[in-house]
A and B are shown apart, each in its own frame.
Chain A
Amino acid sequence: MRKRTAMLSLVFSVMSTKASGLDLSGYIALEERVFFQSEQFAEQEFGAMPSLIVEPEIYHSSDDRKHSWVATLFFHYDPNDDERTHFDIRQADWTFVEGDFEIRAGISKVYWGVAESRHLVDSINQVDAVEDVDEEDRLGQPMLQLALFKDWGSLRFFYLPYFRVRSFPGAQGRLRGAWVVDDDKPAFEESMQEWYPNFALRYEHSFGLWDIGVAQFHGTARAPVFQLKNDHFIPFYQTINQTSVDAQYTEDAWLWKLEAIYRHSENDEFVALTGGFEYTFFGINDSDQDVSVLAEYHYDGRNAASPATLFDNDFFIGTRYVLNNVSDTEFLGGAVIDLGGNGLSVLLEASHRLNDHLKLEFDARLFFEVDRSQPFAFLNRDDFMQLRLSYFF
């Protein structure tokens, strides 16, 4: 064993200059977000809103690659919204690997799930809700992770000692309701508040064409309910127990996907699920280009005591168009349709690499005919488009 370790460390130190040094990477981006409908509330802005994002990352690993350290910082400067201007430590952790055992400690990011249009089971990291409405941007989460990798699958235990509250747009920001969320004064079901310890356990394995994940979470719900107080919304964070399953069946050009949760809280008990497929037509018309069709159905059985969701009974249909060219040009378009007749949202995304360091991305989100009585009716006038130019280093 010792001999093998020595040889491995020799190999890697010869092979990689990165292994012994500090590896700096990341990006700096200019973003122009345009709201093309007039504002609903007096303090809000209208029109083009430029902002600046920086996300540097430093990586270091020991010569034997058993220890590694990552630090990723994130800063977004938005002159139009003080709340959207924010700093976050996305990651600052240490990982130790020995055989089939892994420890990770510090601020980390974890991703669970398989679906594209809703991230139902992904519940470790808090959503960075001022970044985008797709819930793909997440805040760094302090944690201790212990993992075991065996023939029968991997098992990960999570201890989350501190809760990160969700960030919300400020008074000047768009994509908000009539009441500004006062995220500096959150309320909690637990008296320990942010320090109430959260725990999770997750099992993952691949069985032939199946990839399966099963998880149990106990702790603070990532999304709050809102209490109106002095013309402000106070976020109230409930305590939940949640069991989740996610599965993907990959055969031929089909990806079949399912995510499901059973959640129990003091005032609610419900099941929610997301299920669907992605089918790809590879090399259409004898070209290098691929076209995929995506369809996902969403059901959510929560009652009004739980945090509101857009996905109570909705259907997502979309298409992805990948050129497979040197610029990795890609388009994604889709719509989430409320089957109860309570509106429609449309998303368009495109990305194109300009050169080794520059990348251009376009996003648009449009909200149509959201019923005024619905919790997300405020989005009706917040259609936006954004262009982002990123320099990667």
Chain B
Amino acid sequence: MKMNWKRAGIPLVLVISSAAVQAEKTKDDLITAESPEVIGEAIAIELDERDIGFVSQVSKMEMVLRNAYGQENRREMETRILERPERTVGDKSMLVFFNPRDINGTALLSFAEILEPDQQWLYLPALKRVKRISSKNKSGPFVGSEFAFEDITGNEIGKYSWRFDGLEPCPVMANLECFKLTTVPKYEHSGYTKRIVWVDVEEFRADKVDYYDRKDALIKTQTFHSYKAYLNKFWRADVWKMVNHQTGKSTELFFKGYQFKTGLTDSDFSKASLKRVR
């Protein structure tokens, strides 16, 4: 479960070129005479570079699901993420449910990969059973919400090709300029043909994402709200909204109590740790 946008799986040559220059790149450094694909990937790498070093992250997440008639359902969970320094793999994450109460204590452990399938284990507290599950189900709804598994777990930038489509005023954040990017999934079993992503040019924060389904029709729009910088560096949005244009349903995620560099280690992200996850 990736709750931020960050690196992984970038072609080695690009990693070396970006690592050679430690200073943060600006809009003017990135928009060169190169092709839109090269600029797009350079923007993605910069977005990613700026988020390196959070080590681990814990937050509470409340999810509000609304159907077309305005009826609400709520979920409460805690998310824990362990940054994996290797660029060839994604992060490890643990998701622990508190609400609805019948799934209290249920936990999902994921080892994100880049183009390989993720590894996932589900803990069922009533049986004390740890079950390895198929991670093929990328486009299915996550706990009945408008977020698909891939919307939440799939933001390693190496999972997509990136193309720079120009500069536009940010759709959500007022008075800011955004890079407009078209990203196409490179991994198997995605529910999307493409995503259009707006990222602000100052702090490289995701502002809005349009999702296009397998028929290339706009299906969902995600927006990010109330960004805060943690440890003066790591920008996180307090609110994510996802609207499904085809069903009229929507889901909002509210993040609370962000903590970074929490002291969590690999042993807190293991099959054995699922049994004492609370």
Q: Cβ of A18 < 8 Å from any Cβ of B?
A: yes
Q: In whole Å, how far is A211's beta carbon from the nearest beta carbon of chain B?
A: 5
Contact call B101/A326, Cβ cutoff below 8 A: no
| Contact A11–B58 (Cβ < 8 Å) | yes
Contact B271 A154 (CB under 8 A): yes
Chain A interface mostly? mixed
Q: Is A199 an interface residue, CB under 8 A from the partner? A: no
Contact A27 B102 (CB under 8 A): yes
Known contacts being A252-B134, A324-B141, A356-B99, is A111 close to B104, with CB within 8 Å?
no
Stretch touching chain B among A40-48, A95-103, A169-177, A261-269: A95-103
Indicate if A196 sits at the interface (CB-CB under 8 A). Answer: no
- The answer, yes or no, to whether A392 is at the interface (CB within 8 Å) is yes
Inter-chain CA distance A253–B78, complex, in Å, is 27
Checking A14, A102, A288 against B272 with a beta-carbon cut-off of 8 angstroms, the contacting residue is A102
B144 and A204 within 8 A (CB): no
Which residues of A lie under 8 Å from residue B276 when comparing CB positions?
68, 95, 97, 102
- B101/A393 in contact, CB under 8 A: yes
List residues of A (1-40) whose CB comes within 8 Å of B's CBs.
4-5, 7-8, 11, 14-16, 18, 23, 25, 27
The contact of A325 among B129, B144, B189, B264, by CB within 8 Å, is B144
Give the distance in Å from the alpha carbon of A56 to the alpha carbon of B100 in the complex: 16
Q: Does B18 touch A at the CB level, under 8 Å?
A: no
* A149 at the binding interface (Cβ < 8 Å): yes
- Cα-based distance from A359 to B102 in the complex (angstroms): 7
With known contacts A5-B263, A15-B257, A356-B101, A282–B144 Cβ distance under 8 A? no
- Taking the complex as formed, is B26 at the interface, i.e. its CB lies under 8 A from any CB of chain A? no
Select B144's contact among A11, A111, A326, A393, beta carbons within 8 Å: A326
Residues of chain A contacted by B131 (CB below 8 angstroms) = 114
A136 and B126 CA atoms in complex are apart in Å by 10
A79 interface residue, CB < 8 Å from B? Answer: no
Given known A-B contacts A11-B262, A326-B65, A356-B99, A250 and B144 have beta carbons under 8 A apart: no
Q: Which B positions have Cβ atoms within 8 angstroms of A?
A: 58, 60, 65, 67, 73-74, 78, 99-105, 117, 119, 127-134, 136-137, 139-141, 144, 189, 191, 214, 257, 259, 261-264, 267, 270-272, 276, 278
